[in-house]
Amino acid sequence: MKEQFQNNILKCASIDHLTKAAQTIQAGGLVAFPTETVYGLGADATNDDAVACIFDVKGRPYFNPLIIHFSNQVSLSATVVFNEQAKKLARAFWPGALTLVLPRKSDCSISLLASAGLDTLAVRIPNHPLAQALITAANTPIAAPSANCSGEISPSTAEHVMQSLGEKVDTILDGGPCRVGIESTVIDLSGSTPTLLRPGGIVCEELEKVIGPIVLSDGSEDKNRSPGMLERHYAPSIPLRLNAKKANPGEAFLAFGSKVNARHTNLSHMGDLKEAAANLFAMLRMLDQPNFRGIAVMKIPTTGLGVAINDRLKRAATM
Ligand code: TXA
Ligand code: MG
């Protein structure tokens, strides 16, 4: 069975592999592909049936809209309305781990399903050569959520995609482990104040240096603006215990920093948050074993990338 799946993983992504993946997108199929953040489950964003397939395969609720990936700003600006703040952020951070939520243009060609009934669209230009090559070869914007079943831990390798979605995906392009390892930062620029909908790979303070203050959405009073941030998410199959000093009997231990026994699985021995973000999903998956009662995770600083890491851990720990 595994071997059969393996045929769908296109290892070194030669031109032939890329052409096959692009043809799959054009034919309305699903291609999992690497970005610098996590692997995406991609489909032609202008094809309603293909976009519907993404929701089906992930078991994703239809109220949770998708991010649309572009290779450049020319094609992107035909779909959404840019304001000054969007222009500044795009200039500073694209291609990169930043998603902007902007008003849809009235003649926007992107499937309405991808917006889940909202009059906005989440858009991003990923900073990964394979993602760029795929979007360019398919010659269409690609709608792509993270390539995992809804609610599960996001995938940072092609193997993770195979474990989560296996034969439900037509093709998996393998670009190795994702460099950033945590999803993009999502900023809503469609209202009167820029709002952080999801902390992610680009630290909010960096964005504020470019556009000034960004309001934090806690998701509760703003359900319509951040429909994807409500659920238990990023969750392993066993319980997660946060801010742990040590493991209780039967628990796996996920450490951070240098003040622990070297044999523990450690997000970063050096206490480097960038390294911790890159390791987070792979290590959670590794420790998500039925022989453990749960996973005890050490306290992670709440500064810089630690904000996004703690956001994911908190959601993963929600029962
Ligand atoms: O790094 C990433 O962002 C990855 C890679 C593949 O690009 N994608 C990703 O997609 O994490 P997904 O679907 O797992 O998360 C997208 C988030 C969800 O929280 C969703 O609710 C939010 O973006 N979102 C998408 N469109 C939106 C919109 N129009 N308004 C508000 N939130 C939106
Ligand atoms: Mg996701």
Instruction: Please indicate, yes or no, whether residues 212 and 244 belong to a single structural domain of this protein.
Output: no
All residues at 6 or more sequence positions from 291 whose CB lies less than 8 Å from its CB, including other chains: none
Same domain for 148 and 289?
no
Domain around 287: 240-317
The length of the chain in residues reads 319
Transcribe 218-282 into DSSP letters: -SSTTTTT-GGGSS--SB-SS-EE-S-SSPPTTEEEEE-SSSS-TTSEES-TT--HHHHHHHHHH
Phi, psi of 208, rounded to the nearest 5 degrees: -65, -30
Asked if residue 225 belongs to a domain, the reply is no
Which residue, judged by its Cα, is nearest atom 12 of ligand 1? 145
Distance from C-alpha of 76 to C-alpha of 309, rounded to nearest angstrom: 29
115: left (phi over 0), alpha (psi -120 to 50) or beta: alpha
Are residues 100 and 142 part of one domain? Answer: yes
The answer as to whether 181 is a domain residue is yes
Spatial separation of the C-alpha atoms in residues 92 and 85, rounded to whole Å: 11
- Ligand minimally distant from the alpha carbon of residue 201: 1
102 neighbors 264 (Cβ within 8 angstroms): no
- The Cα–Cα gap between 11 and 284 comes to 24
The count of structural domains within the chain is: 2
Residues 250 and 163 in one domain: no
197 lines ligand 1 (CB under 6 A): yes
* DSSP β-bridge partners for residue 9: 172
Pick the residue whose CA is nearest to atom 24 on ligand 1.
65
Is the domain of 101 the same as that of 196? yes
In a shared domain, residues 195 and 299 = no
For 3-54, the DSSP string reads HHHHTTEESS--HHHHHHHHHHHHTT--EEE--SSS-EEEEETT-HHHHHHH
Structural domain includes residue 221 = no
- Give pLDDT, residue 301: 97
Instruction: Examine the domain organization and report whether 172 and 271 are in the same domain.
Output: no
The best mutation among 60, 79, 99, 161 to test binding of ligand 1, ranked by most ligand atoms within 8 Å of the C-beta, falls on 99
d(CA 276, CA 33): 22
Instruction: Tell me the residues surrounding ligand 2 (ion) with CB < 5 Å.
Output: 146
Cα-to-centroid distance, 42 and ligand 2 (Å):
12
d(CA 216, CA 139): 35
Residue from 267, 293, 269 nearest 278 by CA: 267
d(CA 300, CA 302): 6
Query: For residues 68 and 43, what is the distance between their CA atoms, to the nearest angstrom?
Result: 10
Ligand 1 atom nearest to 114, measured from its CA? 26
The per-residue pLDDT for 7 is 46
| Claim to verify: residue 183 and residue 312 sit in the same structural domain | no
In terms of domains, do 185 and 302 share one? Answer: no
Joined tokens for residue 111: 């499937």
Q: Are residues 273 and 304 in contact, defined by beta-carbon separation less than 8 angstroms? A: yes
Same domain? 212 vs 248: no
Phi and psi dihedrals of 263, rounded to 5?
-80, -15
Q: How far is the CA of 198 from the centre of ligand 1 (A)?
A: 8
Q: What is the pLDDT along the chain (319 residues), one digit of tens a residue?
A: 233 334 455 555 567 789 999 999 999 999 999 999 999 999 999 999 999 999 999 999 999 999 999 999 999 999 999 999 999 999 999 999 999 999 999 999 999 999 998 999 999 999 999 999 999 999 999 999 999 999 999 999 999 999 999 989 999 999 999 999 999 999 999 999 999 999 999 999 999 999 999 998 865 545 556 666 655 678 899 999 999 999 999 999 999 998 888 889 999 999 999 999 999 999 999 999 999 999 999 999 999 999 999 999 999 998 7
Query: What is the C-alpha to C-alpha distance for residues 222 and 99, in angstroms, rounded to an integer?
Result: 18
Is residue 140 domain-resident?
A: yes
Distance from the alpha carbon of residue 150 to the mean position of ligand 2, in angstroms: 7
The answer, as to whether pTM is greater than 0.85, is yes
CATH of the domain at 138: 3.90.870.10
DSSP-assigned letters across all residues of 99-132:
EEEEEBPTT--S-HHHHTT-SEEEEE----HHHH
Whether residue 202 lies inside any domain: the answer is: yes
Kindly give the number of the ligand 1 atom that is closest to the alpha carbon of 39: 6
Strand partners, 103: 120
Residue 84 lies in a domain: yes
Closest ligand 1 atom, residue 122 Cα = 26
DSSP codes, 135-161: HHHHTS-EE--BSS-TTBPPPSSHHHH
Give Cβ neighbours of residue 26 (< 8 Å, ≥ 6 apart).
44, 138, 139, 140
For ligand 1, atom 22, which residue shows the shortest CA distance? Answer: 228
Asked if residue 281 is part of any domain, the answer here is: yes
CB 142 less than 6 A from any atom of ligand 1: no
Q: Would the CB of 120 count as within 6 Å of ligand 1?
A: yes
Whether ligand 1 lies within 6 angstroms of the CB of 146 is answered as yes
> Do both 114 and 210 map to the same domain?
yes
For the chain, first and last CA: distance in Å?
32
The reported pLDDT for the residue numbered 1 is 29
pLDDT at 262: 82
Domain closes at, from 216, 248, 275: 216
**pLDDT reported for residue 231:** 59
252 in the same domain as 183: no
- Give a yes or no: residue 226 inside a domain: no
